Amino acid sequence: MSQQRPAPTDCPLRVTVPAGTAAGQALRDAGAPTSGPDALVVARDDGGVLRDLTWAPGTDTDVDGVPASSEDGRSVIRHSCAHVLAQAVQQLFPEATLGIGPPVTDGFYYDFDVARPFTQDDLASLEKAMRRILKAGQRFSRRVVESVDAARDELRGEPYKLELVDLKGDPTDEWDTSEVMEVGAGELTVYDNVHAHTGETVWSDLCRGPHVPTTKHIPAFRLLRTAAAYWRGSERNPQLQRIYGTAWESQEALDAHLEWLAEAERRDHRRLGAELDLFSFPEEIGSGLAVFHPRGGVVRRVMEDYSRRRHEEAGYEFVNSPHITKAALFETSGHLEWYADGMYPPMHLDAELAEDGTVRKPGQDYYLKPMNCPFHNLIYRSRGRSYRELPLRLFEFGSVYRYEKSGVVHGLTRARGFTQDDAHIYCAPEQLAGELKSLLTFVLDLLRDYGLDDFYLELSTRNEAKYVGSDELWAEATETLRRVATDSGLELVPDPGGAAFYGPKISVQARDALGRTWQMSTIQLDYGMPERFDLEYTASDGSKQRPVKIHRALFGSIERFFGVLLEHYAGAFPAWLAPVQAVGIPIADEHVDHLQQVAKALRSRGVRVEVDASDERMQKKIRTHTTQKVPFLLLAGGQDVGAGAVSFRFRDGSQVNGVGVDQAVDAVVSWIARRENASPTADDLPLGTS
RNA sequence: GCCGCCUUAGCUCAGUCGGACAGAGCGGCUCACUCGUAAUGAGCAGGUCGGGGGUUCGAUUCCCCCAGGCGGCUCCA
């Protein structure tokens, strides 16, 4: 079921390039491919820097050829393709000025300042113009600009490029120009696109490079969509018009990528949610607020039940807290100070006016909760705590509401109301490392039980503009998390500035069946909240001590996790989670009773089973329940009834006929009980024909 | 929040360059068929063309506002 993007290849070819010889020449002499998906597009020098193939080292240098089909090769193709796009845009829209045009994961974009936004039709004409450019075989020719002033002069019609030139000289600016591969590090370079025959420069762009030798080395591309984007990523800046595209080393690779995109669209949880009758977002309720239908509700309940059980086994205690609270609680926690923008506005209650209209009683602001943790602090504080109680692990499926900006709401994965599987662990400082370690193991094990098994970790560190607490505590907390993360042996990716205001966090990123990554669990360290709420415990020596708090969500949000699993499984949930686990399909009416008996036996053992007694034809029923992704279809006709048997049909179309009813029931029940995440097929269900 | 696009039956979508009873497939319901592994046939019902305002003799169609959605940007406790 898993479908991945076209895999990059790597077929390194290393040669020694003699001083003064072009790297491309040396590689060609060594027999490097010059056409096809493995054709070299650039070279990597012995310092790891990517160079144009025309680059000629000053001394003898070892270089690697970089094939088009490698990750680096693809990036270069995409970057060059972005240039071709920009050239096409300025051909068709001469007034357009240029922003930046870097390669990104699976593609590239280029930003333009244009009089009117691009339309779909524009994309079609731009693709046409780009094909003409590719066909013309323009050469990408690197040129070092003598001075910053010369560059300014050359770029006088390009205000955004000028800004980049000026920024380059300003090391205090936080905008990293190298990241977007636009302006060179030590010097300013321009790439001229040179006509294949006349040698005339057709178009130029300020750019670090490197680039493919000629536009013929961009074998396949597609423009995908248009969007607006703020210049240099800040909403204080003007919005430019961005065009996204993708480019690949071959038509086949492009086609595979487009097919991957189409598969992602087919799996979109919003689409599957409607098709499988799982949930919806009624307009009447409001943006980002879902209702779960019976079938979605079952899946959710099973997900939650299993999680509950595992948490109980791991020493968690279950608590509950209300959805709204007076403002004071979020003043204490700091939410109103730091995150009021993300909260629904308050309800003002209980105010009373006197006869003359003056306020007699001021009233209170009540807020919908965006987080559960302040409530759990109150539970902790409800009585004195002993060190013997620690770690105290409080767990809640807590519904929270966050006023997400209208443009970011997205199905179940970014909602305004959702349920966190939220736990807060209060422990003594010396328990912290051990608790974090077992916590990470617990989290990963549980995610694996739901069928996700490809992880990496992200360490989010302090956002200097938004934090509370002392430097020492942050440093200590961050170091502790880093150690636990490193010890896990998983890949660790830094996320500077990504922490919440009260502490650093580790997040578990999971890759799904399409290779996409999702942030799942978060483990957050918090010294600040215990202080704000003045939480204490009595230590063994009778002294009062401050506990450390760990915030931890495993699914993150139930809704989001539901959406991720739905896409991961393309709607074909594992049998233990499937809303309907088995459907009985009679060949004719006279076989219904037999299947009702089978269904009764299954139901008595906890299986969610239905019998389709409608007067559709059997073939139609098979189709219906296959498209509904039911894992076990149990057919019965005259032969089965006569033999006291049923015939299995699975999602993949495989079948096992004439299985005795007892054996069939046992097989289904045990498959579900084992929580097998694969779809059952004739091959892996142990069924003998009776 | 910002930019662009979109909203026609439960779902997916035609259609109306401002003019006649707004169409199809799927789904639903009814009837017939009783069938061995992905769509049996026939009939019926179902739409204030997202909501409000404006322009016009006339608006589903043009304009404005609002809501909801989509793609991005920004944001993301």
Mapping DSSP to helix (H, G, I), strand (E, B) and coil, where does residue A414 land? strand
User: Which residue lies nearest B73, CA-to-C1' measured?
Assistant: A229
Our measurement of CA A222 to C1' B11, in angstroms, reads 31
- Is the domain of A422 the same as that of A303? yes
Positions in chain B where some atom is under 7 Å from a protein CB? 1-5, 11-12, 27, 31-40, 67-77
Output the pLDDT for position A179.
Answer: 41
- Is the domain of A358 the same as that of A427? no
- Is the domain of A536 the same as that of A651? no
Of residues A284 and A310, more confidently modeled? A310
Q: Which residues, including other chains, have CB under 8 Å from residue A614's CB and lie 6 or more apart?
A: A621
Lookup: tokens for A392? 């105290």
- Is the domain of A386 the same as that of A458? yes
Lookup: tokens for A40? 């070299």
Output the pLDDT for position A283.
Answer: 86
CATH number of the domain that A118 lies in?
3.30.980.10
Our measurement of CA A158 to C1' B63, in angstroms, reads 36
Q: Is the pLDDT of residue A169 over 70?
A: no
- Asked whether residue A310 is assigned to any structural domain, the reply reads yes
- Is the domain of A517 the same as that of A417? yes
Q: Is the pLDDT of residue A491 over 70?
A: yes
Domain boundary among A263, A278, A313: A263
- Asked whether residue A314 is assigned to any structural domain, the reply reads yes
Full strand arrangement of the beta sheet holding A139-144: A139-144, A189-194, A201-206
Q: Is the pLDDT of residue A689 over 70?
A: no
Q: pLDDT grade, residue A4 (50/70/90)?
A: low
CATH number of the domain that A607 lies in?
3.40.50.800
Closest nucleotide C1' to the C-alpha of A466: B77
Dump the DSSP string for A599-655.
Answer: HHHHHHTT--EEE--SSS-HHHHHHHHHHTT-SEEEEE-HHHHHHTEEEEEETTS-E
Q: Which residues, including other chains, have CB under 8 Å from residue A586's CB and lie 6 or more apart?
A: A592, A594, A595, A611, A612, A613, A618, A635, A636, A637
- Is the domain of A246 the same as that of A351? no
Output the pLDDT for position A182.
Answer: 46
- Is the domain of A302 the same as that of A389? yes
Mapping DSSP to helix (H, G, I), strand (E, B) and coil, where does residue A88 land? helix
Our measurement of CA A408 to C1' B76, in angstroms, reads 9
Average pLDDT over residues A206-211: 90
Q: Which residues, including other chains, have CB under 8 Å from residue A137's CB and lie 6 or more apart?
A: A196, A214, A215, A216
CATH number of the domain that A553 lies in?
3.30.930.10
Q: Poorest-confidence range of A143-152, A304-313, A583-592?
A: A143-152
Average pLDDT over residues A510-522: 91
Distance CA A395, CA A381 (A): 16
| Residues of A labelled as active-site residues | 373, 402, 420, 422, 424, 505, 551
Encode pLDDT of A399-429 as tens digits: 999 999 988 999 999 999 999 999 999 999 9
Percentage of residues of chain A with pLDDT beyond 90: 69
- Is the domain of A133 the same as that of A176? yes
Q: Is the pLDDT of residue A181 over 50?
A: no
- Is the domain of A413 the same as that of A430? yes
Output the pLDDT for position A470.
Answer: 83
Closest nucleotide C1' to the C-alpha of A637: B36
In chain A, what are the helix, strand and coil shares in percent, each to the nearest 5? 35, 25, 40
Q: Is the pLDDT of residue A192 over 50?
A: yes
- Asked whether residue A55 is assigned to any structural domain, the reply reads no
Output the pLDDT for position A368.
Answer: 94
Average pLDDT over residues A519-528: 90
Our measurement of CA A347 to C1' B77, in angstroms, reads 21
- Is the domain of A511 the same as that of A650? no
Domain boundary among A346, A368, A390: A368
Domain boundary among A568, A594, A614: A568
Percentage of residues of chain A with pLDDT beyond 70: 96
Of A3, A4, A27, the residue nearest A17 (C-alpha): A27
Residues A156, A176: contact at Cβ < 8 Å? no
Closest nucleotide C1' to the C-alpha of A371: B77
Lookup: tokens for A270? 């919003």
Our measurement of CA A117 to C1' B17, in angstroms, reads 24
User: For chain A, what is the domain count?
Assistant: 4
Lookup: tokens for A681? 């097929």
Closest nucleotide C1' to the C-alpha of A499: B77
- Is the domain of A375 the same as that of A352? no
- Asked whether residue A641 is assigned to any structural domain, the reply reads yes
Encode pLDDT of A142-154 as tens digits: 999 888 888 888 9
In this predicted complex, what is the ipTM? Answer: 0.93
- Asked whether residue A639 is assigned to any structural domain, the reply reads yes
Output the pLDDT for position A468.
Answer: 79
Encode pLDDT of A444-470 as tens digits: 999 999 999 999 999 999 888 878 778
Range of the domain at A431: 291-322+369-568
- Is the domain of A544 the same as that of A618? no
Q: pLDDT grade, residue A165 (50/70/90)?
A: confident
- Asked whether residue A574 is assigned to any structural domain, the reply reads no
Distance CA A499, CA A576 (A): 36
Average pLDDT over residues A537-554: 95
Alpha carbon dihedral A229, A231, A233, A234, in 10-degree steps, equals -110
Neighbours of A129 (CB within 10 A): 18
Q: pLDDT grade, residue A436 (50/70/90)?
A: very high
* Mean pLDDT rounded to a whole number for chain A: 90
